Amino acid sequence: MPTDPQRIHFDNTDEHDTDALPLGAPAGGTQRATDVQAGKGLDVGTANLLSAVRRRDGKIMVKRERNMFLEIPSTVQRNRAMLTRLGVPYVSYRDRLYVLGDSSFDLANMFGSEVRRPMQDGFLSPKEQDAIPMLRFIVERLVGARSVENEPVYFSVPAPSIDRENDTVYHQGVIESLLRKLGYVPHPINEGHAVVYAELAEKDFTGIGISCGGGMFNVCVAYRTIPAVTFSVSRGGDWIDEHVAKVMGLSRTRACELKESEGVNLAEPRNREEEAVVLYYRNLIEYVLRNLANRFSLAQDVPSFSEPVEIVVSGGTSMVGGFVEVFAQELKKVEFPLKVLGIRRANDPLTSVVRGCLIAAALEQQ
Amino acid sequence: MRPWRSVTLRRAVKPEDRHRVAQVIEKHTERVALGELAAAGKSHVRVISGEKTLAIIEAIVDQTIARRAGELADVDRERIVREANEQFQRVVRIQADAEALVQQQKELIAGQAARIAMLEQAVRKAASVAKRHEKRLGNARETILSYDQEIERLAAQVRRDAEAMDGLKKGIEERVAEVQELRELMRSLTAEVTAGRDRGTKDVASELAELRSALKALDAKPGAGHEAVEALLGRLQERDAASTQQIEQRFEAGLQKTLEKVSKTLYSATARPVDRPVEATDAMLARIFDRADEMESNLSRLEVEMSTTRAGIEDSLDRLKRLKDETLGEGDAEEAAPAP
C-alpha cells in the first residue's frame, strides 16, 4: 500500500512533515471565563460549526457541532426530561421541538427521517425559515458567554463563488447580528485567508491557502498576510458524493461512506467505485486550479511573487488518502502563473479555519 | 586330485552361501496370488523353488567346469563356484538397481503429471482473471469516453463564453470611444459657449454703447428712456438664457445616454452577487432574542464536548506581531523623513 505523503516538494528537499492528527481526547468540563484568554474563533461551515478559544496555558480548545437540526414528532415531546438525561440538546420554539447538532443526526437515522440544514453550499439557506433560530442556539452553544466586554469573535465567511450567485450580504449580516446579540463584537474573515493565518506562518503568510469543505472550496492567495486573490467554487465533498452516487447507482450516504472509508487512496484506486471517486476528485481539483490561474491573470494590482509559493490544503475533503499526490499531478497539467514550492496538507485539517479565526481574534487583543 | 565329476557342487557351496542366494531370490522376486495370475489370463505357470534354483546354479557351474579341459583342484572349484555366485549376485543387484530406477522414473513421471495438472489449473485461473480485467478495462474506457464528451462540451461552453467576453470587451471599447467623443463634444461646446459669451459680451458692450447714446438722446425726451432700457435688457436676457439652456440640454442628454450604455455593459460583464435587502434580518433577530419566553431549551444543562488541538497558534501569532511591528516601524520611518 503506497504511503499518503502529507507534503510534496518540488525541489527535492528532504523535509518530512508530521502526520495530520485528529482532535485530541475530549477535555470535558465547562470552560470558565477566567481560564481562557479573550478572543474567539468561529468556523461557520456547511456541515460543521467549530469554535476555538485559547487557554491561559496556550492550549487551544475546540468545540464542534454538526450544523443541522431535526423536528421531533409530537409523541416524543412529552419526554423532554428523558432527552436531557440522554444529553440530547433540544429547543422548543413555536410549539415545536427541535433537536440540535450531532444528536439530530443520530435521531434522524432512528426515525428514518432527514435532518434539516441551515446552510447549503457554504451559505445560509433562505429556504429554511427555521434556520436562523436554530443557528442561533448552535452558535450560542459553541461560543458560550463572552469572557470580557466587547470580546471579539472572528467568524469565517466564504468568498463569492465564481460559478453561482451567492447572497454573501445576507449570510454575513445574519451571523454578525447573531454574535452581536450574544454580546460579542463580530468580525468576518475570509475562510481561505484563515487557512493562510493558521498554516503559512513559516512563509511569512505568503502562499495559497485552500479550505476544502463539504459545500465549497475556498481559495486565498496571500502576500505577507494581505489577500491578493480570493474566490470560491460551489463544489466540495458533497458534490463529489452526489456525482459518484449518480454514476455508480449508489445512495449519497453510501458514496460518502465509500469516500471516507479506511484505506482509500486516490493514487491507487482498488475498484471501480474508487476509480469514480478519483475521477471526480481530479475534476474538482483541476477546476479549482484552472479558475485560480484564470483569476490570477485577470486580477489587477497583484503583487509579484519573487519566490516560489507553498500551497496548503485543509478541510475534511482533503483528508482522503493520496489527495496531495493527485493535487500535485493536476497542478503540473495547468499553466500556473506562479512558481509553486510544494503542496502540503495542514497538520490538523479539520481545525485550520477555526484556528485562523482565533489567530485573528488573538492578534486584535494584543 | 580327484576328478571333477566325482565332486558334487553341493559339497563346494557352503551353507551360508546357499542361504544368501535364497535371500537374493526372495528379495528380487514378487509374490503373486493365484487369483491374480488367473485374472491375468494365466492358467499354467512354471514353478521353481529355491532349492531348484540353487540346483540349477550348481548344474551350470558343473557343466562349465566340466567343459573345461583337465582336472581341477578343490580349491579351484570352490573359487569358480564362489566367483559364479558373486557374479550371480552382481547380476541380481544390477537387476534390482534397474528396477529401482524404473520405479524412480515412474514416480518422477507421476510428479510431473501432477505439476502439469497444477499448471493447467493456474492457466485457467489466469485466463479468468484476464477476462475480468478486460471487462474492467472496457468499463473504464466507457467512463473515459463519457468524460471526454463532457470535457468537449465544457470546452465548447468555454469557447462560447470567451466569444461572449470578446463581444463584451468590444462593447466596452465602443462605449469608451463614445465617452471620448462626448468629451470632445463637451470641449467644443465649452469653447462654443465661451465664444458665444465673448460674442454676447461684445454685443452687450456695443448695445450698452448704443443704450448710452440712446439714453443721452432720450434725455431730451422724457419718459421714453426707461421703456427702451427695459426692452433691451429683456432681449439680452432671453437670448443668453436660450443659448445656454440649449447647450446644456444637448450636453446632458448625450452624457446620460452614454453613461447608461456603459453601465449596462459593465453590469453584464462582471459577475456580482445579488444584493438582497436585509431589511427583515434585524427585526427577525430581535424577535428571536427578545421573545425568550416563547422558547424553552435544555442547553444550559448540557455541556458541549471540548477537545484540544495539537497544532497551536503561538508561532503564527508571534510572526504576525513581528510583521505588524515591522510595518509600523517602516511607517514611522516614512513620517520622520522630510518631504521632497
- The residue type of A244 is V
Interchain proximity A181–B285, CB inside 8 Å = yes
From chain A, the residues in CB contact with B140 under 8 A are 272, 275
Query: Which of residues A279 and A107 earns the better pLDDT score?
Result: A279
Contact A23, B307 (CB under 8 A): yes
B221-238 b/e with 16+ CB inside 10 Å = b? eeeebeebeeebeeeeee
Region A275-290: mean pLDDT is 91
pLDDT at B109 over 90: yes
From chain B, the residues in CB contact with A140 under 8 A are 299
Name the residue in chain A with its Cα closest to that of B295: A93
Nearest to B319 among A29, A140, A201 (CB): A201
3-state secondary structure of A50: strand
From chain B, the residues in CB contact with A202 under 8 A are 315, 319
Name the residue in chain A with its Cα closest to that of B278: A170
pLDDT at A323 over 90: yes
Q: Which helix H or strand E contains A314, and what residues bound it?
A: strand A309-314
Its domain, for residue B63, covers: 4-106
3-state secondary structure of A341: strand
**Closest by CA position to A152, among listed A161, A143, A160:** A143
Q: Tell me how far the alpha carbon of residue A65 is from its chain's centroid.
A: 12
The total number of structural domains in chain B stands at 1
Helix then strand then coil, in percent of chain B rounded to 5, is 80, 0, 15
- Locate A129 and state its grid cell: 425559515
**Closest by CA position to A219, among listed A143, A163, A288:** A288
Nearest to A24 among B297, B309, B321 (CB): B309
Q: Among A238-242, A301-305, B268-272, name the one with the lowest average pLDDT.
A: B268-272
Q: Does A63 touch chain B (CB under 8 A)?
A: yes
What pLDDT does residue A344 have?
95
Q: Which helix H or strand E contains A233, and what residues bound it?
A: strand A226-233
Query: Which of residues A13 and A92 earns the better pLDDT score?
Result: A92
Interchain proximity A87–B302, CB inside 8 Å = yes
Beta-bridged to residue A51, according to DSSP, are: A42, A63
From chain A, the residues in CB contact with B305 under 8 A are 26, 28, 63-64
Domains belonging to chain A, first-starting first, are 7-64+119-365 (3.30.420.40), 68-116 (no CATH)
Q: How confident is the model at residue B231 (pLDDT cuts 50, 70, 90)?
A: low
- Locate A356 and state its grid cell: 485562523
From chain B, the residues in CB contact with A93 under 8 A are 294-295
Q: Does A17 touch chain B (CB under 8 A)?
A: no
What pLDDT does residue A74 have?
60
What pLDDT does residue B266 have?
55
Query: Pairing state of beta strands A217-223 and A340-345?
Result: unpaired
What pLDDT does residue A253 have?
75
Nearest to A30 among B303, B311, B324 (CB): B303
- Domain presence at residue B14: yes
- Domain presence at residue B96: yes
CA–CA distance, A296 with A229 (Å, rounded to integer): 7
What pLDDT does residue A40 have?
95
Q: How confident is the model at residue A135 (pLDDT cuts 50, 70, 90)?
A: confident
Q: In what order do the strands lie in the sheet with A90-93?
A: A69-71, A96-100, A90-93, B295-297
Query: Which of residues A241 and A301 earns the better pLDDT score?
Result: A241
For chain B, the average pLDDT equals: 75
Q: What predicted TM-score, i.e. pTM, was given to this entire model?
A: 0.56
What pLDDT does residue A27 have?
33
- Domain presence at residue B82: yes
- Domain presence at residue B131: no
Nearest to A93 among B289, B294, B299 (CB): B294
A159: DSSP letter = P
Interchain proximity B307–A133, CB inside 8 Å = no
Q: Tell me how far the alpha carbon of residue A209 is from its chain's centroid.
A: 12
Name the residue in chain A with its Cα closest to that of B271: A162
Region A280-297: mean pLDDT is 88
pLDDT at B11 over 60: no
Interchain proximity A89–B296, CB inside 8 Å = no
pLDDT at B74 over 80: no
CA–CA distance, A191 with A198 (Å, rounded to integer): 11
Angle at A16 between CA A355 and CA A267, to 5 degrees: 90
pLDDT at A167 over 80: no
**Closest by CA position to A80, among listed A99, A67, A66, A61:** A99
Query: Pairing state of beta strands A309-314 and A207-212?
Result: parallel
Name the residue in chain B with its Cα closest to that of A280: B147
pLDDT at A237 over 60: yes
Q: What is the pLDDT of residues B267-320, one digit of tens each?
A: 554 544 444 444 445 555 555 555 555 677 888 777 788 888 878 898 898 898
pLDDT at B200 over 70: no
Region A244-252: mean pLDDT is 85
What pLDDT does residue B275 have?
46
Q: How confident is the model at residue A324 (pLDDT cuts 50, 70, 90)?
A: very high
From chain B, the residues in CB contact with A275 under 8 A are 140, 143
pLDDT at B58 over 90: no
Region A264-275: mean pLDDT is 89
Contact A45, A213 (CB under 8 A): yes
What pLDDT does residue B107 have?
92
What pLDDT does residue B5 have?
44
Interchain proximity B299–A92, CB inside 8 Å = no
User: Strands, E, within B86-238: which ranges?
Assistant: none
A122: DSSP letter = T
Q: Torsion angle, CA of A175/A177/A183/A184, rounded to 10 degrees?
A: 50
Q: How confident is the model at residue B14 (pLDDT cuts 50, 70, 90)?
A: low
What pLDDT does residue B272 have?
44
Nearest to A170 among B272, B278, B319 (CB): B278
Interchain proximity B313–A166, CB inside 8 Å = no
CA–CA distance, A16 with A253 (Å, rounded to integer): 35
Q: Among A312-321, A352-361, B26-35, B221-230, name the one with the lowest average pLDDT.
A: B221-230
- Domain presence at residue B259: no
Residue-by-residue DSSP string for B256-319 = HHHHHHHHHHHHHHS--------HHHHHHHHHHHH-GGGEEE-GGGSPPPEEE-SS-SHHHHHH
Rg for chain B (alpha carbons), in Å?
68
- Its ipTM equals 0.77
Query: Which of residues B63 and A222 earns the better pLDDT score?
Result: A222
Region A192-207: mean pLDDT is 95
Most confident of A15-29, B175-189, B235-249, B270-284: B175-189
- Domain presence at residue B255: no
Q: What is the pLDDT of residues B116-148, one digit of tens each?
A: 999 999 999 999 999 999 999 999 999 999 889
State the smallest CA–CA distance between residue A12 and chain B in angstroms. Answer: 26
What pLDDT does residue B277 have?
43
- Domain presence at residue B122: no
What pLDDT does residue B6 have?
39
Q: How confident is the model at residue B7 (pLDDT cuts 50, 70, 90)?
A: very low
What pLDDT does residue A19 have?
30
Q: How confident is the model at residue A130 (pLDDT cuts 50, 70, 90)?
A: confident
Query: Which of residues A345 and B22 earns the better pLDDT score?
Result: A345
Nearest to B313 among A60, A100, A160 (CB): A60
For chain A, the average pLDDT equals: 83
Q: Among A86-90, A230-234, B202-206, name the one with the lowest average pLDDT.
A: B202-206
CA–CA distance, A67 with A139 (Å, rounded to integer): 9
- Locate A301 and state its grid cell: 494590482
Region A142-156: mean pLDDT is 92
Q: Does A290 touch chain B (CB under 8 A)?
A: no
CA–CA distance, A354 with B318 (Å, rounded to integer): 18
State the smallest CA–CA distance between residue B331 and chain A in angstroms. Answer: 16
pLDDT at A15 over 50: no
What pLDDT does residue A164 have?
81
- Domain presence at residue B157: no
- The residue type of A94 is R
